[in-house]
Amino acid sequence: MGRATIGQFRQADKAPLALVVDNVRSLNNIGSMFRTADGFAASAVVLCGISACPPSPEIHKTALGAEESMAWQYFASTADAIAALREQGWTIVCLEQVVGSLSLTDFVPEAGKRYAIVVGNEVDGVDSAVVDSADIWLEIPQSGTKHSLNVAVSAALAMWPVYRTWLSNTSMQ
């Protein structure tokens, strides 16, 4: 299929996209997010709080090796991770249902901007202090009886617009 090796992938240009994982408890969800981050050529996965880190057989089960190709780091505090990313020029995007959130359908990433998308705990969502410090709040519109989607699914949906914008502005097509 012409896929890059891990070494080639690590050297390749990356989308201006980081995924910040705030206290996600499921190792399967973490593995799935690594796989999505790899698929969308994200710059990094940032694991925070209780989120487990590789190596882990449970993460590997759903990541299918993407935990080896992706750059990642761990912060005990999501607030510290956000501060470090902001200092590096990242725009902090919190995926959370809050007053004033922007519907994902209306989110148009700007070419040349770097976006760090924060996803939260499966039950409690993103820590409120992190929510308060975000630059953009995104909400995924839903029409069913539930008020949220699985965190790994939500992460993929939120990452797609940034990846799509990057693709349309690079030779990676």
Query: Tens digit of pLDDT per residue, the chain (173 long)?
Result: 788 999 999 999 999 999 999 999 999 999 999 999 999 999 999 999 999 999 999 999 999 999 999 999 999 999 999 999 999 999 999 999 999 999 999 999 999 999 999 999 999 999 999 999 999 999 999 999 998 999 999 999 999 999 999 999 986 54
Domain-located, residue 1: no
Q: What is the CATH number of the domain that holds 36?
A: 3.40.1280.10
Residue span of the structural domain in which 115 resides: 6-168
Domain-located, residue 173: no
Q: Is 0.85 topped by the overall pTM?
A: yes
Cβ-proximal residues to 82 (8 Å cutoff; 6+ apart), any chain? 20, 92, 116, 118, 130, 133, 134
CB count within 10 Å of CB 103 equals 10
Residue with tokens 């809050």: 98
Q: Residues 86, 93: contact at Cβ < 8 Å?
A: no
Q: Is 16 helix (H, G, I), strand (E, B) or coil?
A: strand
H-helix segments, 22-173: 27-39, 57-63, 66-69, 78-87, 128-133, 151-168
Q: How many domains does the chain have?
A: 1
Q: Residues 31, 61: contact at Cβ < 8 Å?
A: yes
| Phi/psi of residue 122, nearest 5 degrees | -60, -30
